[in-house]
Amino acid sequence: MFLTKNTAFPRRVLALICFGSMAMLAFGLYLQHIVGLEPCPMCIVQRYALVLVALLAGLTAIFSGRATLMCGSGFLFLIAGFGAFVAVRQSWLQWFPPELASCGRDFYGMIETFPLQRVIPMIFKGSGDCSKVDWTFLGLSIANWSFLSFVLISWVVAALIFRLARKRVR
């Protein structure tokens, strides 16, 4: 019912994007809660973009129809592009840190300074320094890997859109 011959491949690719995004989110939560890295505000924005990518890719993969695939993939491309923009901006800040770099306050400083009703929204904004590199893998920071992931998602989705549009013309 949900799987038609023309849309099986794009839907599988979108499901893989959804599961890959969820795995990256789980790894980010592992780094935060197990390793103890504090996310900065730009990291939080990238997480929101990744959540939107996962949700939209999953929903688009569930529903059938070329129009749904095209529309969902178009929005997915825009969200991944936004995530890549934020990640490249953070990478820029890491490579060329400003003299006064602070993207947020630490948790204990917020509790000591502000009343609780102001602290709770601040917690969700992140508290780390956006220009600080806390973790690397193969010489690349989390922001660098995030950028590469968003660009890969954008390329795959653009290829899907091109493939769906090309099949429509024939």
Which CATH number is 146's domain given? 1.20.1550.10
Instruction: Give the pLDDT of residue 114.
Output: 65
Split into its structural domains, the chain has a count of 1
Range of the domain at 89: 8-98+130-169
Q: Quick one: pLDDT at residue 99?
A: 65
The answer for 33, left when phi > 0, alpha when psi is -120 to 50, beta otherwise, is alpha
In a domain, 118, yes or no: no
Residue 110 lies in a domain: no
Alpha helices in the chain (DSSP H): 8-30, 41-62, 66-95, 107-113, 116-123, 142-169
**DSSP structural state of residue 20:** H
What's the predicted TM-score (pTM) here?
0.72
Q: Is residue 119 part of a domain?
A: no
Q: Give the tokens for residue 93.
A: 């800040």
SS3 114: coil
In the block, tokens 């923009």 appear at: 85
The C-alpha atoms of residue 86 and residue 45 are separated, in whole angstroms, by 8
- pLDDT (tens, 9 = 90+) of the chain, 170 residues, equals 344 455 577 788 888 999 999 998 888 888 788 887 777 777 788 888 999 999 999 988 888 777 788 888 889 999 999 999 888 887 877 777 666 545 545 544 555 666 666 655 655 555 556 666 676 668 777 778 888 999 999 999 998 888 877 775 44
Contact 127, 93 (CB under 8 A): no
